Amino acid sequence: MDYGYVNARIRGMKSRLLDHHAFDEMLFRPDLNSVISDLEKTPYHDEIAEAKKTCVGILCIELALRKNFARTFRKILKMVKGTEAERYIRIFLHRWDIQNIKTIIRGKNIHVTNDEILECLVPAGELDEATLSELIKQPDVRAVIDMLATWDIVYSHPLTKKFPEFSEKRDLAILECELDRFYYQEGLDTLKTSTYNDVLIRNALMGEIDTVNIKTLLRVVRDRIEWDIAQDFFISGGRDFSVSSLKHLAGLHSVEEVLKELGPTKFGFLSEYGEEVQKTQKISILEKQLDKYLIRKGVSAFGGEPLSIASIIGYFWAKYNEITSIRIISRCKTADLTEDQVREELVYV
């Protein structure tokens, strides 16, 4: 395919992403209406105008962001339709199907309202907003899985497989881990060649598996879960950590010991937050840094081979970070957070 043409268009789209100054301006705004006014002067103008017809406040922003994100990636899919790049893009967009299904079953598990679930969805994958809306209408986790199976959607397979175990233990992590395992294994199974693009995407997915496993490791050590149980929650296929190599780390006595062991690895940056974790006893601090690490690694793909899928992947992560940052800033306007607290949540790339 003509990567030169596609990447020229991606560079044009990248130039319209919001910069640090735009985020700072929104951060200083006194209320949500001011943030909405700022967004009306950006590439989100059309979606904000459309959302204002039916919503106000945070709901207006959330609806506009969802529609913009979905439209952006449908536009990219249209650019690459019928080419090898389409396969790579779909691998990345499938993560949103997984994330959206997780969000729906979490909501059903704790009985939040359908509107609250909808606010948290990003319909950028194969499952469009109409499909997700029908899933949200289901009364419980089992009904959501049954609906996916009725529609013969592939994500029903891992969920159906693990539902009996979930029913017995009522641990939602059983279903979520199986969804992650399905996503990564399905992606890796399609990336078998030694071409630049296959290697690029394969390494990215393997790096993500490492990150997901490190998050799992931190919870396992914090909660002192025995390996016989814990091993079922790790995903094989990581680049730097095999599941067997994680067994030693899972047997350590504290999160602080884990951070020390990770020091010489690519996750050594986590040790900077060891004192804060020890003081607060919250591993969410580390999970947040791992999320930021993934974003920065993803955006760094812009520096890859220009006549490849790299620029599209870099744009994907940059756009995701933009959407996430707007969400964080807008939600902070409804919470009692200081400017410094909000800045800690943002990722400037």
CA distance 252 to 262: 12
pLDDT at position 194: 93
Q: What is the mean pLDDT of residues 104-110?
A: 96
Beta-carbon contacts of 258 under 8 Å, excluding residues fewer than 6 positions away, are 217, 218, 221, 249, 252
Checking if the pLDDT of 349 tops 80, the result is no
> 59 near 67, Cβ under 8 Å?
no
pLDDT in tens, 264-312: 999 999 999 999 998 888 999 999 999 999 999 999 999 889 889 999 9
Q: Is residue 25 part of a domain?
A: yes
Q: Is residue 259 part of a domain?
A: yes
Indicate whether 163 and 235 sit together in one domain.
Answer: no
Q: Is residue 344 part of a domain?
A: no
Structural domains of the chain, count: 3
Checking if the pLDDT of 249 tops 80, the result is yes
Cα–chain center distance at 307: 26
Which CATH number belongs to the domain containing residue 57 in this structure?
A: 1.10.132.50
The helix, strand and coil proportions of the chain, stated in percent and rounded to the nearest 5, come to 75, 0, 25
Q: What is the mean pLDDT of residues 48-76?
A: 93
Q: What is the mean pLDDT of residues 137-159?
A: 96
CA-based nearest residue to 323, from 79, 70, 9: 70
Indicate whether 323 and 294 sit together in one domain.
Answer: no
N- to C-terminal Cα separation, the chain: 29
Q: Is residue 90 part of a domain?
A: yes
Token pair 């009985």: residue: 111
Indicate whether 203 and 288 sit together in one domain.
Answer: yes
What pTM does this model have? 0.90
Q: What is the mean pLDDT of residues 10-31?
A: 92
Q: Is residue 346 part of a domain?
A: no
CA distance 255 to 220: 9
Q: Is residue 145 part of a domain?
A: yes
pLDDT at position 199: 95
Q: What is the mean pLDDT of residues 114-131?
A: 87
Indicate whether 195 and 298 sit together in one domain.
Answer: yes
Indicate whether 195 and 274 sit together in one domain.
Answer: yes
Token pair 């199907």: residue: 97
> 66 near 41, Cβ under 8 Å?
no
Beta-carbon contacts of 349 under 8 Å, excluding residues fewer than 6 positions away, are 295, 296, 299, 318, 321
Indicate whether 72 and 157 sit together in one domain.
Answer: no
CA distance 242 to 229: 17
CA distance 106 to 173: 10
Indicate whether 27 and 119 sit together in one domain.
Answer: no
> 163 near 112, Cβ under 8 Å?
no
Q: Which residues form the domain of 164? A: 86-175
Checking if the pLDDT of 188 tops 80, the result is yes
Q: Is residue 10 part of a domain?
A: yes
CA-based nearest residue to 217, from 163, 154, 265: 265
pLDDT at position 258: 96
pLDDT at position 13: 95
pLDDT at position 1: 63
